[in-house]
Structure 1
Amino acid sequence: MLSTSVTPSEKRKAMRAGLASGTLQRYPGAFTPLTGPLIQQLGFEGVYISGAVMAAELGLPDIGMTTLTEVAQRGREISRMTDLPTLIDADTGFGEAMNVARAVHELEDAGVSGLHLEDQVNPKRCGHLDGKEVVSLDLAVQRIAAAVSARRDSDLVIMARTDIRGVSGLEAAKDRAKALEAAGADAIFPEAMASLEEFAAIREAVDVPILANMTEFGKSALFTHQQLQDVGVNIAIHPVSLLRIAMGAIERELGLLQQTGTLDGAVERMQTRSRLYELNDYAAYNAFDEGVFNFEVPVGHRGDGDA
């Protein structure tokens, strides 16, 4: 009720244990706080909080226009709703070294378990678009070193994302990954790898865990979890998938409403009220204070009401 009973410290330890377990950690992207408990109930190991999704929810492109305040707030809202570790996209750190340090503090306070910082030039762009630019090696290293130095909880995972593969090729990505590891990164996020062999090459280049971004319509094929584990990937994110699924359904059903004047034909495809109440934990609120919530949670069926 209200929020998870698992502390941020415990979740950070769990994230580190998962990354060290030898089993691929699966982190679907939560596009609303309500999807956090759903991801947990379905048995995934963690929850990802995507910068692209946060921007899209605000009607903005993924070019670094969201603010630290907006990102920290979303991180807090989603992290409080799940017992699972959360990994959040911190873009380029909202500036350089001092901005990065402040971002780490704000995101720590929001309760996330880990964050990743990238080496793009501001303003950034989606990692699977052409025309990206990356900062110098010195500046990329400085961002990670600042983040590592700023964290107060040593279990907070500082992950370094590099976009250099799409700019200068795989060998440059290997070299940069090594340098970011040496700067203190706990894990490496090599963006837009072209093949399983490229993931394997990054795996060989560094000793820390590596991440695979399984975003649809991107530069990387949608490899299975088993394929990724077989080449040594430690964590897979599906950052925008739930948003795309939801928005696709919304657009289809709105079209039906516009054409027919009713959504009666879509009811069977909707989440029931009882299922929504399960995710919102209405029963716990009812048990806590019957003077506030004094009703019976309905059993799910087609006619369970429209609330």
Structure 2
Amino acid sequence: MTTAASKRQRLATRLTQPGIITAPGIFDLISARLADRMGFDVLYMTGYGTVASYLGLPDAGLATFTDMLNRASAFAQATETPIIADGDTGYGGLLNVAHTVRHYEAAGVAGIQLEDQEFPKKCGHTPGRRVVPLEDMVRKVKVACEARANDDFLIVARTDARTTLGLDEALRRAEAYSKAGADILFVESPESEEEMQRIASAFEKPVLINNVEGGRTPVLSKSRLEEMGFKLAIYPATGFLAMGKALEEVYQGLQKDDVAAGTQGRLYEFDAFSRLMGFEAVWEFEKAHAE
């Protein structure tokens, strides 16, 4: 199993190399295992998807630090690929932020995303989000950087100011978070290609773009995003939206008289899925210890 330190170092090195980095959203251990075997440079633990799959609740500040740490740890242990994990607002004040960063790092993920929303936070592509004063988030970023044990553990600083305070304020905040020590900058929910271009070209540090199908931001090709200057493109919703659609269709098929016709061509092959989940190791163990 690859160590957490080597995963972090691998991602930190990749960020210095040319080319945009694609990060699919993982939200449960099936999605994590599937994505892990596909050769991505990094995976993104989506807060929306993780809260939905783990608790069956909306991403509205209802998941606790313990809930999210549990999932981050499980994902990190089950995968060889570096993971950036959603850490919401840090789950409280400055002491909580330090506590969160230390435990996420100890859990084995390669980085944490922290945002400047007021608590309780909301999904970044939903209305009604409010942000804390800039100075408060600057202090959170500084504390997060101080709390990590190794500089390869990445701090992703996100601002949700665009929707309520405008793009200029969002850019001002991202610049302040950069000066506070953030490794990756994340301006949430730009609403046009022109805004995306301004964001991508505004900073020296790597800039992340959030691609949410049906969200507030245009979803562009990876080549266009790279041309703009984005370094990291996350796709947090793609997996669970695809899963939801697929499950709905096959469950509808189960309601029909001809079940096989309703599931034909829509199912992962059972033996392959068993191997994906690690049954080969179980079979080998049983052979080695057969009486």
Q: Same fold (TM over 0.5)?
A: yes
Match among 122, 125, 139 for residue 119 of structure 2: 122
Offset from partner CA, 1:13-49 (integer Å, 9 cap, x none):
1111122212111110112222223223323221110
Q: Structure 1: which 5+ runs fail to align?
A: 295-307
Counterpart AA for 1:48: Y
Distance 1:39 1:292, change over 3 A: farther
Q: Do residues 12 (structure 1) and 8 (structure 2) align?
A: yes
Contact residue 141 and residue 157 of structure 2 kept, 8 A: yes
Contact residue 254 and residue 262 of structure 2 kept, 8 A: no
Match among 195, 201, 204 for residue 204 of structure 1: 201
* Structure 1 runs of 4+ with >4 Å offset: 291-294
Q: Structure 2: which 5+ runs fail to align?
A: none
User: Distance between the aligned counterparts of 2:70 and 2:143, measured in 1?
Assistant: 22
The residue number in structure 1 matching 2:89 is: 92
The residue number in structure 2 matching 1:304 is: none
Query: Deviation at 1:197?
Result: 2.9
Structural mapping, 1:239-250, within 5 Å = 239-250=236-247
Q: Do residues 38 (structure 1) and 43 (structure 2) align?
A: no
Query: Deviation at 1:200?
Result: 2.6
Structural mapping, 1:1-307, within 5 Å = 5-57=1-53, 58-260=55-257, 262-263=259-260, 265-291=262-288
Per the alignment, in what secondary structure is the counterpart of residue 201 of structure 2? helix
Offset from partner CA, 1:198-231 (integer Å, 9 cap, x none):
2332233221111110011111111111111111
Aligned length: 290
Counterpart AA for 1:70: D
Contact residue 64 and residue 124 of structure 1 kept, 8 A: yes
User: Distance between the aligned counterparts of 1:107 and 1:229, measured in 2?
Assistant: 29
Query: Deviation at 1:288?
Result: 4.3
Counterpart AA for 1:180: Y
User: Distance between the aligned counterparts of 1:199 and 1:265, measured in 2?
Assistant: 42
Per the alignment, in what secondary structure is the counterpart of residue 63 of structure 1? coil
Query: Deviation at 1:293?
Result: 8.5
User: Distance between the aligned counterparts of 1:285 and 1:195, measured in 2?
Assistant: 50
Distance 1:275 1:168, change over 3 A: same
Counterpart AA for 1:15: L
CA RMSD of aligned residues (A): 1.8
Counterpart AA for 2:276: L
Per the alignment, in what secondary structure is the counterpart of residue 188 of structure 1? strand
Structure-1-length-normalised TM-score: 0.89
Per the alignment, in what secondary structure is the counterpart of residue 34 of structure 1? helix
